[in-house]
Amino acid sequence: MLEPPSVAETFVSEDERAEEIVQLIEVDQRLQEWVRARGSMTGELPAELRTRLLVQPTEPGDTPERRLARWVTIFGDDLDTIHDTRSRVIHGVRTPDGEIRGARWLGRQILGLLEGADA
């Protein structure tokens, strides 16, 4: 997993760890919403989702639906890793600080590629 240098740092307090876990959960929820949207896609995405994807520049002839399908295909293993990390934390499995930080960071990067830099 590609990661910035700060990912390896340990949390300085349980409060910092808890805040990072909350952020990981929020990022994973957004990622899973897109995965579910892709899984239930039978034609065009709902207007609200299409609008969120149309903000990003696309290639001529590209559609939000194709873009989402590519995104899920390319990042599928990473999305699973992020969700697995979140699941371990939620179920009380002690997870190393670097894995929590890394999963949250990676999730934000992947969301940014789909939704834009402000993701």
What torsion do the CA atoms of 72, 52, 112, 92 make, to the nearest 10 degrees? -70
Confidence of residue 5 (pLDDT cuts 50, 70, 90): low
Model confidence pLDDT, tens digit, residues 22-46: 999 999 999 999 999 999 888 888 8
Residue 6 maps to a domain: no
Residue 10 maps to a domain: no
Distance CA 114, CA 40 (A): 18
Residue 57 maps to a domain: yes
Residue 103 maps to a domain: yes
Residue 91 maps to a domain: yes
Distance CA 79, CA 87 (A): 12
| CB 33 within 8 Å of CB 41 | no
Q: Is pLDDT at 1 greater than 60 in this prediction?
A: no
Residue 35 maps to a domain: yes
Q: Is pLDDT at 117 greater than 80 in this prediction?
A: no
Domain count, the chain: 1
Residue 8 maps to a domain: no
Residue 3 maps to a domain: no
Total-model pTM = 0.87
Model confidence pLDDT, tens digit, residues 75-107: 999 999 999 999 999 999 999 999 999 999 999
Q: Which domain holds residue 34?
A: 15-40+47-115
